[in-house]
Structure 1
């Protein structure tokens, strides 16, 4: 499901999936994380995490590979692009309330 311009991607917007995608996006492109490691990082039950991973995999935002007894997850190029678009859309929606991002003060420390 591709969101219309100016709309947040409903696949990513669910809180648990946003946490999953943002965690995977923090890895370098092509890097993988073990299911158990992701589960611990996000403090999610296996069943809950699996449910959200299935939705992300169906949308082709992630891939999973089983090696031995471990499953490894990777954010796809499509998933990374969708996340970047999500962040961009969210920023544009929030800008009227918080003002434009000040590139000279990225931490927002100046009054």
Structure 2
């Protein structure tokens, strides 16, 4: 591919947020992941994960819901339709960037 340079979405491109979005988008549309599962799987501290989730939530890429189960709070995270679309665009642009060649 030749032509213009490709710009990647910086909100998703950050390594930890890319890993979070990869996990969430890998789930079927209506499925969600537990906050604790994401934290443990990615080996993150609670504060670090919360910071990244807030950034993704502010961009509209994910939604966070809190519930109580047997008197214990549970936090769930799922990719929004906008987040799934943004991730698909990110992957398309990443592929373009990997195939980019400067004009002759």
Distance 1:52 1:43 in 2: 13
Give distance in 1, aligned partners of 2:99 and 2:14.
Answer: 21
2:64 counterpart residue number: 64
- Structure 1 residues not aligned, in runs of 5+: 98-111
Shift of 1:56: 0.4
More strand by percentage: 2
Runs of 4+ more than 4 Å apart: none
| Residue of structure 2 in register with 1:79 after alignment | 83
Query: What TM-score, normalized by structure 1, do the two folds share?
Result: 0.80
1:1-111 equivalent positions in 2, closer than 5 A: 6-68=6-68, 69-96=73-100
Aligned residues: 93
Against the structure 1 CA distance between its residues 96 and 8, is the aligned structure 2 distance closer, same or farther, given a 3 Å change threshold? Answer: closer
Separation in 2, partners of 1:36, 1:16: 15
TM-fit CA distance, 1:95: 1.9
After TM superposition, give the deviation of residue 6 of structure 1 in Å: 2.7
The superposition leaves residues 77-109 of structure 1 with CA deviations (integer Å, 9 ceiling, x where unpaired) of: 000000000001001111248xxxxxxxxxxxx
Structure 2 length as normaliser, TM-score? 0.85
Q: CA RMSD, aligned part only?
A: 1.4
Superposed displacement of residue 17, structure 1: 0.4
- SS of alignment partner, residue 63 of structure 1: strand
